[in-house]
Amino acid sequence: MQSKVINISVINTEQQQYQIKQQLMNVIGVHNVAIDSDKGEILIDFETPASLNNLEKEIYDLGYQIL
């Protein structure tokens, strides 16, 4: 299992946090998602078939900029 941190543009509301978490948890292979809205960080625990590129694309498709 891998753990990665993805830095994104600022998350302003709990609704945005919920939306990101739900989207990522629906990806096969994702086991845990933790969001630090103050730092703009998303910590993801995942394994194959999920990949860092796929997860970043999911976040980008929600309208967030990957830093």
Domains of the chain listed by start with CATH number: 2-61 (3.30.70.100)
Contact 43, 8 (CB under 8 A): no
- Beta-bridge partner residues of 35: 42
Question: pLDDT at position 45, please?
Answer: 97
Give alpha helix (H) positions in 1-67: 14-25, 52-61
Q: What is the DSSP letter of 30?
A: E
Question: pLDDT at position 34, please?
Answer: 96
Q: Phi, psi at residue 49, to the nearest 5°?
A: -90, 0
Query: Can you give the pTM of this predicted structure?
Result: 0.88
Where the chain has pLDDT below 70, the residues are none
Question: pLDDT at position 12, please?
Answer: 84
Residue 9, number of CB atoms within 10 A of its CB: 12
